[in-house]
């Protein structure tokens, strides 16, 4: 009943206009723009009390007001501008005139693009991504913990779904920790405003697309965070949500038009079945439910077939790259979006930022399903998605099957071999993001039954398989938990708050097992950072025998051999069958221990992985 009432309320707000008082000129978005963009067209969304009753006037060299669009809701105007190549940076008034009343003025700024080499540089297989939930990592500025004008107030660290007070300043205070660990890119779950009344700390119910949530900081602080990361040799991934928006945002409370979101007679959820998008035999209704059904009752499903919605989203995302200089986008719930729009969106972004990288969250069940969403029309999608890479959930599942599964022809470690063998489906599998866990799923330590050998093997595979490795905050200090519910895997990082009794950002605050895990990851991550064979090198794998899976990463500088023993007992194996890569090498260096290893045969402990650099 509650869900139906919420949905009905949203529909009424859309149909009648927001009854609460709004200023005569409440906002113009994007608030400012730049000269010299690849696309000369810009559409401004203007929101204000009966703003559609006014005429619009502007006069600035190189800027033409092409069209003024009035829509169903009189509180909106959409202004089409064309910014010519001759336009120069500067400020000009946009006038909203009405007979018998004083004109409303908005001072619009056109800025010079920042073409510095270190901005929008792309996140690639040379990087290691570290995923952080800002609310749960560290509180660097207690003064922004709570605001009385927001729907959810107070800091309640004792509540699983409450706000805990972490922020951008807290992350900035610990960049040295991440740099030391070997991290080269930081992905934050969405940091923009989520002014929902309950449990919106995660960031995926946006209510203001153009402002950082003030409990995390300010737009300027976010820009400083990106700049500081760049100065330290680290990149930043921004998390985007195309598919849905929080129901308390102004475009949802006071919708521009009925078609701004997908409308249903009553609250209707997605069926969450990605296969309906690609299935040649799918019913039209199944596909509609997948794409147009709501993700949650507090997350309105955006209608990406609406050209106004398309412009609103695309321009916002381009705005953030040019404003802050972020290096890549992670796209939330990618399969739920309109495929044609997302293909155009990717082209528009890449046209402005050619080096920029993009990867979509897919979380599907087979390599073919994943490949469907990636660019190149490699599996006969019938169109090109222009999506460079995806979050490789299929590899993740195969790693866990190799660690936990019972050995069989296609089970256990053979599953991992088989999944990697399907890389032919992708235009370029090295653009996929390989991961073990994240903010929506059980942590790696718990999935492997808190077996440290399995944990280290998982981390070794993460760092040495093809693709872009991504780890979740706290995995390096053995944080654990099952996502039942997901709040259990979104714990605070110990030491991130003043008054924490333990500070695990320091070696002194960590237990011996935690330091062992931290040092293992640090050694491997920093080795990877300095080894091109593990970044951009080729991969050769061998069919597992007696439960031992061997693969190589290699280039013209180094050859690295990775050997995993999937069985519950130590095994010794001859290495003659790997002659194609071992060639004349007699010895190797154990990357973790620095010990010299005789390559004539290998002894591998139970459920363990050796990472060996061949020595000629």
Q: What residues are labeled active site?
A: 332, 361
Query: What is the Cα–Cα distance from 425 to 448, expressed in whole angstroms?
Result: 29
* HSE, side-chain direction, 13 A CA sphere, residue 194: 22
The C-alpha angle with vertex 281 and arms to 275 and 287, in degrees rounded to 5, equals 50
CA distances from 590 to 209, 211, 570 (A): 48, 48, 17
Percentage helix, strand, coil for the chain under 3-state DSSP, each rounded to 5: 30, 25, 45
Q: How far is CA 100 from the centre of its chain?
A: 50
Query: What is the Cα–Cα distance from 207 to 405, expressed in whole angstroms?
Result: 43
* HSE, side-chain direction, 13 A CA sphere, residue 111: 10
Query: What is the Cα–Cα distance from 513 to 504, expressed in whole angstroms?
Result: 12
Closest CA to 293 of 302, 284, 281, 305: 302
The residues, any chain, with a CB within 8 Å of residue 559's CB and separated by 6 or more, are 533, 552, 553, 581, 582, 585, 613, 614
Query: Which residues does residue 572 pair with via DSSP β-bridges, in sequence order?
Result: 603
Q: Is the peptide bond before 465 cis (omega within 30 degrees of 0)?
A: no
Query: What is the Cα–Cα distance from 529 to 183, expressed in whole angstroms?
Result: 9
């Amino acid at each position: 009943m509650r869900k139906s009432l919420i949905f009905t309320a949203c529909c009424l707000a859309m149909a009648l206009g927001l009854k609460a008082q709004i200023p005569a000129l409440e906002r113009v978005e994007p608030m400012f723009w730049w000269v010299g963009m690849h696309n000369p067209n810009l559409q401004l969304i203007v929101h204000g009390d009966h703003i559609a009753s006014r005429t619009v006037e502007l006069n600035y060299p190189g800027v033409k007001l092409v069209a003024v669009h009035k829509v169903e809701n009189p509180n909106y105007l959409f202004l089409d501008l064309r910014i010519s190549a001759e336009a120069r940076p500067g400020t000009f008034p946009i006038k909203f005139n009405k007979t018998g009343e004083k004109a409303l003025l908005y001072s619009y700024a056109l800025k010079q693009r920042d073409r510095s080499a270190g901005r929008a540089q792309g996140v690639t297989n040379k990087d290691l991504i570290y995923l952080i939930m800002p609310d749960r990592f560290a509180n660097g500025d207690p003064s922004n913990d709570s605001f009385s004008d927001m729907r959810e107030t107070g800091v309640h660290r004792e509540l699983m779904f409450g706000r805990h007070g972490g922020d951008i300043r807290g992350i900035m205070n610990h960049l040295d920790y991440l740099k030391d660990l070997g991290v080269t890119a930081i992905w934050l779950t969405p940091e923009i405003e989520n002014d929902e009344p309950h449990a919106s700390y995660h960031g995926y119910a946006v209510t203001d697309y153009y402002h950082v949530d003030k409990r995390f900081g300010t737009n300027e602080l976010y820009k400083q965070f990106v700049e500081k990361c760049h100065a330290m040799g680290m990149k930043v991934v921004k998390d985007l949500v195309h598919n849905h928006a929080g129901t308390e945002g102004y475009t949802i409370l006071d919708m521009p038009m009925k078609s701004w979101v997908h409308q249903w007679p009553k609250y209707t959820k997605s069926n969450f079945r990605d296969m309906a998008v690609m299935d040649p035999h799918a019913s039209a209704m199944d596909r509609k439910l997948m794409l147009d059904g709501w993700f949650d009752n507090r997350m309105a499903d955006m209608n990406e077939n609406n050209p106004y919605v398309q412009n609103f989203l695309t321009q916002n995302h381009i705005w953030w790259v040019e404003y802050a200089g972020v290096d890549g986008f992670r796209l939330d719930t990618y399969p739920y979006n309109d495929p044609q729009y997302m293909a155009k969106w990717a082209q528009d972004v890449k046209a402005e930022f050619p080096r920029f990288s993009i990867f979509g969250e897919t979380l599907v069940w087979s390599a073919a399903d994943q490949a469907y969403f990636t660019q190149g029309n490699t599996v006969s999608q019938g169109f090109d998605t222009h999506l460079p890479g995806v979050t490789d959930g299929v590899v993740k599942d195969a790693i866990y099957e190799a660690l936990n599964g019972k050995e069989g022809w296609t089970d256990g470690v053979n599953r991992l071999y088989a999944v990697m063998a399907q890389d032919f489906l992708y235009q370029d599998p090295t653009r996929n993001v390989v991961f073990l866990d994240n903010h929506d799923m059980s942590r790696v330590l718990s999935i492997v039954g808190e077996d440290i050998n399995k944990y280290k093997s998982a981390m070794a595979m993460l760092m040495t398989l093809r693709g872009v490795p991504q780890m979740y905050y706290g995995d390096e200090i053995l944080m654990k938990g099952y996502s039942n519910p997901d709040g259990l895997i979104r714990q605070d990082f110990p030491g991130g708050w003043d008054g924490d009794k333990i500070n695990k950002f320091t070696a002194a605050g960590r237990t011996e097992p935690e330091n062992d895990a931290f040092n293992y990851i640090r050694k491997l991550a920093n080795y990877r950072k300095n080894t091109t064979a593990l970044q951009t090198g080729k991969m050769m794998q061998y069919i597992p025998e007696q439960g031992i899976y061997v693969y190589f990463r290699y280039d013209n500088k180094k050859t690295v051999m990775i050997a995993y023993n999937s069985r519950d007992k130590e095994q010794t194996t001859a290495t003659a069958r790997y002659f194609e890569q071992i060639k004349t090498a007699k010895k190797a260096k154990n990357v973790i221990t620095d010990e010299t290893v005789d390559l004539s045969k290998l002894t591998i402990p139970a459920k363990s992985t050796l990472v060996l650099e061949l020595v000629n």
